[in-house]
Amino acid sequence: MALNKYLDVSPEVAEALANGRPVVALESTIISHGMPYPQNVETALAVENIIRENGATPATIAVIGGRLKAGCTKEEIEYLGKAGTNVTKASRRDLAVLCARGQDGATTVTTTMIIAHMAGIKVFATGGIGGVHRGAETTMDISADLEELAHTPVMVVCAGAKSILDLGLTLEYLETHGVPVLGYGTRELPAFYTRHSGFSVDYQVDTPEELAAAFRASLELGFEGGMLVTNPIPEEYSMDPAVINAAIDEALAQAKANGIHGKETTPFLLAKVKELTGGDSLDSNIQLVFNNAKVAAQTAACLAGK
């Protein structure tokens, strides 16, 4: 691919891929923009360890000095964590300029999928995907994540779309673009901080073996798009929907009052929800990422036949 001249695959990830061993991609926006330091670095390294414990090799993805990194070192993760929001939140539209300028970028779901696919990584674990924002019928604010899922053949394991979004319209958009939405052990779309949204997914899938079989079939059919696995947050960490929805409504009102829009919207809303819930939402966020990493690693192992 044209961008391969900009791609660096870490020795550990390259060896795993060359030997047909399972690899799971991880994003870096959650490091630079999702959590404060040092909790962001601690969480990122803990997620990598969970993936190893479940039989796969982690590949944290980022842009550093204009290089697309498929597999970051501990030092690079530390750098991203300390630099925080000074690192550009990089979507598809940013990659070419960052590479040309030799700059850094924290990869979103979109760019993590792009770089994972470029490196030959088929499974990616994240927290929640972006989607159709509330009020999108007037703002046209729709995450590039949804378009990438329609075009890039990577399985994305998440805890549903972030509950700050319009979940119904997000599902409609995915359906229109032919993206299968699978519920892991559920027919209901999880809503990130909570297990319930009131919306149904396309299929319930109950084991990593079934997930791997479905994605293998998609690849063998030659479909160009990805597959979305929605994995509910563990019951003990699920937040009260009334509490989280009240915090989201307040955060949305403040975002509108402050003129927040575009790529700044999600980080603002997540930070405000964390503040309004006394940090409970951040704790839930960390636990759901851990849970997704486990399922992704087990699925990648099945996909690799390990």
Q: Domain ranges in the chain?
A: 1-121, 127-306
Pick from 290, 279, 200: which is nearest to 243 by CA? 279
Q: Quick check: is 306 catalytic?
A: no
Chain segment 192-230, per-residue pLDDT in tens: 888 988 899 999 999 999 999 999 999 999 999 999 999
Indicate if the pLDDT at residue 1 is higher than 70: no
CATH number of 1-121: 3.40.1790.10
Catalytic residue of the set 122, 162, 272, 294 = 162
Average pLDDT estimate for 114-121: 97
User: Is the model's pLDDT at 148 over the cut of 90?
Assistant: yes
CATH superfamily, domain 127-306, is: Indigoidine synthase domain (3.40.1790.10)
Residue 231 has pLDDT above 50, yes or no: yes
Least confident of 6-10, 58-62, 272-276: 272-276
Q: Can you tell me the distance from the alpha carbon of 211 to that of 183, in angstroms, rounded to the nearest whole number?
A: 10
User: Which of 244, 270, 276, 16 is CA-nearest to residue 127?
Assistant: 270
Q: What pLDDT is stored for residue 49 in this prediction?
A: 98
pLDDT of residue 239: 82
Q: How many of the other CB atoms lie within 10 Å of CB of 135?
A: 12
pLDDT: is 279 or 20 the higher one? 20
* Annotation says 69 is catalytic: no
CA–CA separation, 197 vs 233, rounded Å?
A: 12
Cis peptide before 234 (omega within 30 of 0): no
Tell me the whole-structure pTM to 2 decimals: 0.91
Say whether pLDDT at 2 is over 60. no
**Residue 55: per-residue pLDDT:** 97
Quick check: 184 pLDDT over 90?
yes
Indicate if the pLDDT at residue 306 is higher than 70: no
Look over the chain and give the mean of its residue pLDDT values, rounded to a whole number.
92
Q: Does 127-306 match 1-121 at the fold level?
A: yes
User: With b meaning 16 or more CB within 10 Å and e meaning fewer, what string describes 161-171?
Assistant: bbbbbbbebbb
% of the chain at pLDDT higher than 90:
72
